[in-house]
Copies of this chain bind each other. A is one copy, B any other.
Amino acid sequence: MALLDDLLQKRVFPVELERYCTYAMEQAGLPRDAAAVSARVLTTADRWGIHTQGARQIRQLMKNIRDGRIDATARAGVTAAGPAIAILDGNRAMPLVTACTAMESAIRKAGEAGIAYVGVKRSSHIGAAGYYATMALPHDMIGIAMTNTDPWMTVPGGKGPIMGTNPIAYAIPAGSERPVFLDIATSSVAVTKILAAKAPGKRLPEKWLVDDAGRPTDDPANYPAQGALLPMAGHKGYGLAVLVETLTAMIPGAAFLSGVKCWAFDIPDKTNQGHAFLAINVGAMTPLVEFKARMDAMIREIKAAPKAGDGRIYLPGEMEWERQERARRDGIALPVYVLVNLIRLAEDTGTPESLAAIFH
């Protein structure tokens, strides 16, 4: 592929990548506002260096629209609401837009009530849960976002995939220090990391998997055809994954465990994922300036702690903020698997020239 060889030599600025992604999704049939929101969510993951959750997912999401698994023009609707809670029916609308709507609702309600929970059913893949958590930051609130996923993870005593990797993400505002930010799967590691580590005879750094008999293993040779991910920290990650499943699916009434269908497989089934969004309005409880000073003091105490060797201590999210700043300044050299997906998206939507034009 001449275009791929060309793009591999070049870089792209995030703002231009976002504009192209909006355009390509419009060409694929998504209304302009939904395309713009979705492009913002996905390219933010690329800004953070989390390319597995970035623009490379657009082509598959657009395939979900063609296959009738996502309804391009639907909108989420409210099925239950109170001063500090709401349940949204995702109505199989574009899931990244639904998630933004839900987080905005949580933020609005927390403005009055101090804290709010919004659960979502009949949704699908939402990319990096962390994006929605960061939406709380401009409002000086703490944001928390979770989703269930189709099953990839076993549980202690079991074998084979039983639960989703059920990520938890949060964002916490600080004062003059950067916000604290985390976006983690409750499994030992993300599926994509294992696939990336696969090579003949190569072992994983730790026993992240179980084999087909349920034995912990560092051998990825037969994964994902056989075996499953282990939970992070054994029964602890399992327990947190059950909490995520409850808040995201059991309260809103979404699918759970084996009932969740993978958005990335070529199957007709609706995914019916569930999500949970929380906003905590710190200023309703303590003077914001004092809270932010305390956050700065905590961050500085952690960073100034004695080091193992001559490295440094990173706060959660610090690596993502540094990568975001580099991306804004220098552009991003996208990895080959992202470029391949973008080129195929461009072919699907008749936009190869527009894609080529954003790389420098």
- Which residues in A have some Cβ–Cβ distance to B below 8 Å? 80, 82-87, 112-117, 119, 142, 154-160, 162-163, 168, 170, 172, 180, 182, 184, 188, 210, 213-215, 232-233, 235-240, 242-243, 245-247, 249-253, 256-258, 278, 280-282, 284-286, 290-291, 294-295, 297-298, 301-302, 305-309, 311-316
List the 3 shortest-distance A-B pairs measured between CB atoms, nearest first. A214-B308, A85-B114, A182-B239
Roughly how many angstroms separate A314 CA and B236 CA in the complex, as a whole number? 13
How many Å from the CB of A39 to the closest CB on chain B? 27
Contacts of A155 in B (CB 8 A): 302, 305, 313
Instruction: Please measure, in the bound complex, the distance between the C-alpha atom of A210 and the C-alpha atom of B305, giving whole angstroms.
Output: 15
Q: How far is the CB of A106 from chain B (nearest CB, A)?
A: 10
Q: Give the oligomeric copy count.
A: 2
Contacts A115-B115, A158-B306 supplied; 15 other A-B pairs, CB < 8 Å:
A86-B285, A87-B285, A87-B286, A117-B280, A142-B247, A155-B302, A158-B307, A159-B308, A160-B306, A172-B250, A184-B239, A210-B308, A247-B280, A251-B280, A252-B285
Query: What are the residues of chain B within 8 A of A184 when measuring CB–CB?
Result: 235-236, 239-240
**Interface contact B237-A233, CB-CB below 8 Å:** yes
Q: Take A115-B117, A156-B313, A162-B302 as given contacts and tell me if A232 and B236 are in contact as well, using a CB distance cutoff of 8 Å.
A: yes
CB contacts (< 8 Å) of A302 on chain B: these are 155, 158, 162-163, 242, 257
Min CB distance A356 to B, Å, is 38
Query: Would you list 11 pairs from A and B whose C-beta atoms are within 8 A, ordered by A residue?
Result: A84-B84, A157-B313, A158-B308, A160-B306, A182-B242, A213-B309, A214-B306, A239-B316, A251-B291, A252-B286, A253-B294
C-alpha spacing A295/B246, complex, angstroms? 8
**Cβ contact of A307, chosen from B157, B282, B284, B315, cutoff 8 A:** B157
Do A235 and B316 have beta carbons less than 8 Å apart?
yes
Given contacts A84-B115, A114-B83, A157-B307, contact A238 B285 (CB under 8 A): no
